[in-house]
Amino acid sequence: MSTSIPQQQEEGDELEKTWWKEAVVYQIYPRSFFDTNGDGLGDLNGIRAKLDYLQELGVDMIWLCPVYKSPNVDNGYDVSDYQAIMDEMGTMDDFDRLLEDIHSRGMKIMMDLVLNHTSDQHPWFLESKSSKDSPKRDWYVWRDHPTNWESIFGGPAWTYDPKTRQYYFHLFSKSQVDLNWENPELRRAIYDMILWWLDKGIDGFRVDAINHLKKEYTDMPNPEGLNYVPAWEKMTNVQGIQELLAELRRETFDRYDVVTVGEANSVRAHEISEWISEEEGKFNMIFHLEAHEEAWDEESAGVDVDDLRIVLDRWQRSAQGIAWNSLYLENHDRPRTVSTWGNDREHWRESATALGCMYFFMQGTPFIYQGQEIGMTNAPFDDINMYRDIETKNMYRYNRQKGVPHKDLMKTIKKISRDHARTPMQWNFGANAGFTGGTPWIPLNPNFNWLNVKAQQQDPQSVLSFYKKMLKLRKDHEALVYGSTHLTYLECPYVYAYTREYGEARYLIISHLDDDTCSWWNPVDGELLLSNYDSYVDGKLQPYEARVYLLN
């Protein structure tokens, strides 16, 4: 007996073929990637030293988290000079050599672009706060009376400046001061900076917190009498933001053959047209959080496969024929997926590869976050002093002040802290996992003594080997890039399955996202192209088993 997958009709028009749709992007968190000078922090020369590794993996584009000059209150997302390199990372000459080396290998580079705010040490803000009469006073947001908003990192969203006797606005920390995008001079300065980087030869931008550029500055209702009130709707996707984003694209990105990805966490699939459609979109892709918000059960620390199907299929169908998706499991702001959606104990390898297979072959550009390709896990940090993330630290402090017990807070932090994605890359069995000859800026995950690149490079069944096979398979089969995606419901409740269809070519991707086995039969006339098990059990899917078939 075999499973017969019904033929589907291809939907929509075929999208234009472009290099960035065919690419696979690898995200690097530079301070945790590889350190070459022994100061415990990764650097640009460390990235250059690992280009052979990235090329062998098969990636086409490298996305760097911020390397601009910064006091590093939020690890580079507080920029003090957009056109200089932070001291810890190296020099602009180091960056130019990295750019040249990447391009010489036929690879491309994407920079992280922080446009919602600058550091409070940026010369623009230092001038803005010098006087109410400063020419740059209106480059930031100042008020005599603050609103009752709470910042995303906790505490008030306004900070008082005693010299000028006004409050300045900060959506995140008080060291990350929001720019006033209503000011045309500020916008022109931003555009000139972007053009400077594009002239240098970079190939794209991931644009941070892009749906927050426009705000509506009024108080929130406060029936509970809170000190500060979350004000998400006042600072997210506010009316008029599309006009600002259209000007940004017109004045910068449209002048070059580059790719742009906007971080727009709250955007939903039905809004896709104005954000990323090929006809009127402001970016080529966006990163949304809907799958992580809807499918992750924080209490059980597992994935709801039904919810995951609903969310991801909605995005696939909404984009079909009009737009292009970004595909990702992890990034620098998310805990490790094998620890949250998978099983990082008994079925670590199987769940790391099954989750990878689940997302990688949908229509869209796949993004791999450093360490994901070897199945790095959340760190077992029990002490709040082992964490470095400002969001984690602030959350702990503000909630302790509210009387939340330490034990309860640590239970949450061990599940969701951003630092789980920021522990150093685990290269080998040596001291500090081969990351640094010095003292790492953040503790390593102790499992590096068995979970590392060196241990997996010669193992054909490793997570790393499976990722290499996925990248090659996608490159070798055009249908796995441009084909339409059709959700397929099988008898197993924990199986995520879909077909990719392009002309006469049809593929079936299945990922069993559960610890148990389930009954299932091979497809009729299907050729197995990829599996994360070296043998299969007839009539069953094993725990976290993943397969890719070519359907004849």
Hey, which residues are catalytic here?
208, 263
Tell me the C-alpha distance between 269 and 89, whole Å. Answer: 37
From residue 28, alpha-carbon distances to 33, 89, 127, 136 in Å are 7, 13, 33, 34
Which strand (E) or helix (H) includes residue 511? strand 505-512
Tell me the C-alpha distance between 543 and 518, whole Å: 8
Angle formed at CA 84 by CA 82 and CA 90, multiple of 5 degrees:
135
Closest CA to 530 of 516, 504, 549, 551: 549
Nearest to 207 by CA among 284, 261, 152, 282: 261
Instruction: Give the pairing of strands 204-208 and 259-263.
Output: parallel
From first CA to last CA, the distance across the chain in angstroms is 17
What is the rounded distance in angstroms from the CA atom of residue 206 to the CA atom of residue 64?
9
Q: Count CA atoms within 13 Å of residue 409 on its CB side.
A: 18
One-letter amino acid for residue 28 of the chain: I
Q: Which residue has the tokens 């997996």?
A: 456
Whose CA is closest to 181, among 132, 138, 124?
138
Helix (H) or strand (E) holding 231: none
The per-residue b/e assignment along 188-222, b for 16 or more CB within 10 angstroms, e otherwise, is ebbeebbeebbeeebbbbbbbbbbbbbbeeeebee
Residues pairing with 327 in the sheet: 366
- From the number of C-beta atoms within 10 Å of its C-beta (0-12, 13-18, 19+), residue 384 rates as middle
How many Å apart are CA 68 and CA 220, to the nearest integer?
35
How many other CB atoms are found less than 10 A from the CB of residue 475? 15
Contact status, residue 64 vs residue 86, Cβ threshold 8 Å: no
Q: Specify whether the backbone of 546 is left (phi greater than 0), alpha (psi in -120 to 50) or beta.
A: beta
d(CA 528, CA 89): 45
The single-letter DSSP state of residue 452 is: S
Measured CA to CA, the distance from residue 147 to residue 160 in angstroms comes to 12
Contact status, residue 2 vs residue 490, Cβ threshold 8 Å:
no
Q: For the chain, what is the radius of gyration of the CA atoms?
A: 24
